[in-house]
Amino acid sequence: MNSLTDAPDDTAALSQRLGLRVRSARAARAMTMKQLATESGISLPYLSRVERGDGNVSIAVLHRLACALSVSTDALLSDHDRFGADYALIVEMLKRQSPDSLRSIRSWLVSHLDERSSQQGGVKRIALIGLRGAGKSTLGPALAQQLGTPFIELNAQVAQMAGMSLNEVFSIYGQAGYRRLERQCLDAVIAGRPQVVLATGGGIVSEPATYEVLLHAFYTVWLHARPEEHFRRVMAQHDARIATPQLRDEAMANIVSALAARSALYALANANIDTTGLTTQAVLDRALALIDQHIFSTNKGVAS
């Protein structure tokens, strides 16, 4: 499969999977096709096509089927069967938890998985996350030099793997193509770099599967600043994409909206540093202190 052009699933496969889900859910509830058609308000011939996998299903029809079967729309579309029956029960249990409980559960799970050993005795991999202009590319090399580890920018790895600039990747292959390359590059860094400081793209937190891998394999530090500071730093880079007043207004609005949309995801990082008004040295000192604190608490936990 071509990593850039091929989607994980085509429309036909999605329709087939939906048909299988509907048939399975109906059978589990001992419903006839006629009963499901009546309860969902969908005609019997059309429901028959859906279950065969050749129905052109709208969002409204999907919602009506899910309601009639008492399942989520995600359950009808997702490819989760390979995880077994426990998966569905675990998901339902997690849905009943509060946000604070979910954070504790996730931390507990991470601490009990096999990769825990890769972080014991010290911080092996460090990832810097945050919006553009947060200071990742500035702090990263300084932190790597201080720790005696390589520094890698994930976006540079993506461009290298694609053999073109990031702008070209987005233009030709779109967001989905970029995200697939980003995940491949992250996996390659994890496989080949037991010690590294990694600067990630700002949107990596919006891809749950990739972000989960990052949080699991790295000590993550969220660098952030006030929106005005982000914008000032981006302006200092003389980016052609914000060369006019109109583009600058749009860029500022995008920074504000992106921070609002992603802050809860960024906050899942192990640590965070507000870089507003700080020198590179001050941010570096803060990062090193956080890492030392983490190493101490980790070693203390292992010793006990």
Q: What percent of the chain has pLDDT over 70?
A: 83
Q: Which whole number is the average pLDDT over 26-42? A: 85
Q: For position 108, what pLDDT does the model report?
A: 81
Q: DSSP labels for the chain? A: --TTT--SS-HHHHHHHHHHHHHHHHHHTT--HHHHHHHHT--HHHHHHHHHT-----HHHHHHHHHHHTS-HHHHH---GGG-HHHHHHHHHHHTS-HHHHHHHHHHHHHHSGGGGGGTTS--EEEEE-STTSSHHHHHHHHHHHHT--EEEHHHHHHHHHTS-HHHHHHHHHHHHHHHHHHHHHHHHHHH-SSEEEEPPGGGGGSHHHHHHHHHHSEEEEEE--HHHHHHHHHHTT-GGG-SHHHHHHHHHHHHHHHHHHHHHHTTSSEEEE-TT--HHHHHHHHHHHHHHHHHHHHHHHH-
Write down the pLDDT at residue 86: 75
List pLDDT tens digits, range 230-288. Answer: 888 877 766 555 545 666 677 788 888 888 888 888 998 999 999 998 999 999 999 99
pLDDT at 116: 44
> In the prediction, which pLDDT does 297 show?
66
pTM for this prediction: 0.72
Q: Tell me the pLDDT tens digit for each residue of 155-203.
A: 999 999 999 998 899 889 888 889 999 999 999 999 999 999 999 998 8
